[in-house]
Chain A
Amino acid sequence: MNSGDTAFVLIATAMVMLMTPGLALFYGGLVRKKNVLATTMQSFITLGIISVIWLVYGYSLAFGPDVGHFIGNLDYAWLKNVGLEPGPYSETIPDLLFCAFQLMFAIITPALITGAFAERMKFPAFLAFTILWSTCVYMPVCHWVWGKGGWLGAMGALDFAGGTVIHINSGAAALVAALVFGKRKGYGRDSMHPHNLPMTVLGAGLLWFGWFGFNAGSALSAGPIAVLALMTTQIATGAGALTWIIAEWKIQGKPTTLGAASGALAGLVAITPGAGFVTPVSALIMGAVAGVICYLAVIAKSKIGYDDSLDVVGVHGVGGIWGALATGIFASSAVNSAGKGLLDGNPHQLLVQATGVGATIVYSVIVTYILLKIIDVTIGLRVSSDDETQGLDLTQHSEVGYNL
């Protein structure tokens, strides 16, 4: 046990928690005024839902003793056998702290998906979806990559802080959700522009701040790898913000605030799997490329015509895939002996990364689709047309965001 590491991960855990309210602000500002609370609520209440599930069985399914390289068993249910001494996942911090740190990741992942079905989902259906998705998709995929005995981790897939588990996973689910839900009423006809961009930029700022806990904290130790992860995170994020606005400036004539915030997020997503494996210069390339390709992905969405309302696919899906592959390219044993990528003479790593990406997408797409269909025939996914016009704040929660 090391008190320095413990103090560091305690703080990192609290920082990652703050990302979910940050996401609530980010998403809340992007929707129309009549849906600001419902959108905020979908992120905020996830803090409640997942905390409870995690205690009861979630942590155990994700990190419990391995069953068939696919999922954990129930030995850690109700956090039995998860104590205040170092456990199987860290030699220097209490097992329970690792569990708390991982809980924050489990919370933000389903919250990310809410951007895809924003402004049209029934609240009870949302609750059911979050519980089922977290149980049937997040926990297994988390086990594959990070659980002891999980097949992707055993294969040598590099995912420092959750590019595959969190971003590709939620991005793939978001694509399915956008297609299953269909477009918002009036999409393409009515104006659906963001109602409060300062709120969105504030949210992006909180996400950026919390992400230092997310990435540096994933070192689980207040040491050199945490420092590397913090610096690569900062560089990639700054680069992403810059290249996104440069790209839109070229293509559409104006650099936008929302573009800067979105580009920063794209950079954050892209560096996540590689944060502790690549050099700061590689981080610059990873972030810079992410800003451009995520921007192009978001533009392509408007052309293709599916309504991923808040661009979860374009930012988290595309940025996550790029980040996972780029980690296989840029991982450098000079900075972290645990990872050796293509440029370090290990082309096999890129193949392993691609396998991780592919498997996660296929699994997430199929299971998300089944879950959404089950909820649709039982509870019904979508609010009525009248309710959608009136807004979810009033119809789902009987309150309004602004009484001015």
Chain B
Amino acid sequence: MKKIEAIIKPFKLDDVKDALNGIGIKGMTISEVKGYGRQKGHTEIYRGAEYVVDFIPKIKIEVVVGADQVSQVVDTIRNAANSGTIGDGKIFVMPVERIVRVRTGEEDRNAI
């Protein structure tokens, strides 16, 4: 079991969600996050005063899948979130030790 965390541009969220639904991914968690990488921040101007804002809004998507699905999910996210410009985000894959479904107590693959 693996957890896939993808940081993407906020306007790409619907595309990514639809693409993941299209390959049968049944659930995900998203959060609004802020950060920066190579894209850096942006400048805001208020009455002549310029502020450099380092952290810019992004969306973090978390999906947990079986090991066999990882490459398909990563490719799907990558295709859907790609706008070809700097700041499109990153995808992280990490192992998951155990999963428990709260309602039934089912575990691991059955709980995905």
Interface size class on chain A is: 10 to 19
Q: Is B47 an interface residue (CB 8 A)?
A: yes
B32 interface residue, CB < 8 Å from A? no
**Cβ contact within 8 Å between A191 and B48:** no
Could you tell me the dominant secondary structure of chain B's interface residues? strand
Establish whether residues A252 and B48, one from each chain, have CB atoms under 8 Å apart when the complex forms. Answer: yes
Query: B48, A302: Cβ atoms under 8 Å?
Result: yes
B50 close to chain A: CB less than 8 A: yes
Interface flag for A205 (CB, 8 Å) = no
CB neighbours of A96 from chain B (8 A):
none
Q: Are A298 and B44 in contact (CB under 8 A)?
A: no
| A363-B50 Cα distance, complex, nearest whole Å | 35
Closest Cβ of chain A: how far from B45's Cβ, in Å?
Answer: 5
Interface residues of A in 152-198 (CB under 8 A from B): 191, 193-194
Name the B residues within 8 Å of A311 (CB-CB).
47
**A298 in contact with B48 (CB, 8 Å):** yes
Task: Fill in one digit per residue for B32-46: 1 if any A CB lies within 8 Å of its CB, else 0.
Answer: 000000000000111
* CB contact between B44 and one of A193, A262, A295 (< 8 Å): that residue: A193
Residue of A193, A251, A253, A295 near B46 (CB, 8 A) is: A193
Interface residue B51 (Cβ < 8 Å from any Cβ of A)? yes
Q: Which residues of A contact B86 (CB under 8 A)?
A: none
CA distance A252 to B44 in the complex (A): 11
Complex Cα distance, B51 from A194, in Å, reads: 11
Name the B residues within 8 Å of A295 (CB-CB). 47-48
Check if A298 sits within 8 Å of B50, measured CB to CB: no
Assembly CA distance A259 to B44 (angstroms): 13
A2 interface residue (CB < 8 Å to B): no
Q: Which residues of A contact B44 (CB under 8 A)?
A: 193
Chain B residues contacting A254 (CB-CB under 8 Å) are 45
Complex-state Cα separation, A251 to B49, whole angstroms: 12
Question: Are A248 and B45 in contact, CB atoms less than 8 angstroms apart?
Answer: yes
Closest chain A residue to B54 by CB distance? A191
Name the contact of B53 in the complex, choosing from A191, A253, A298, A302 (C-beta under 8 A): A191
B48: nearest residue on chain A (CB-CB)?
A299
Report how far A193 CA is from B44 CA in the complex, Å. 9
* B residues in contact (CB < 8 Å) with A: 44-51, 53
Chain A to chain B: the 10 pairs with minimum beta-carbon distance, closest first: A299-B48, A298-B47, A193-B46, A302-B49, A298-B48, A252-B45, A193-B51, A191-B51, A258-B46, A258-B47
Pick 30 A–B contacts, CB within 8 A, sort by A.
A191-B51, A191-B53, A193-B44, A193-B46, A193-B49, A193-B51, A194-B46, A248-B45, A248-B48, A251-B48, A252-B45, A252-B48, A252-B50, A253-B45, A254-B45, A256-B45, A256-B46, A256-B47, A258-B46, A258-B47, A259-B47, A262-B47, A295-B47, A295-B48, A298-B47, A298-B48, A299-B48, A302-B48, A302-B49, A311-B47
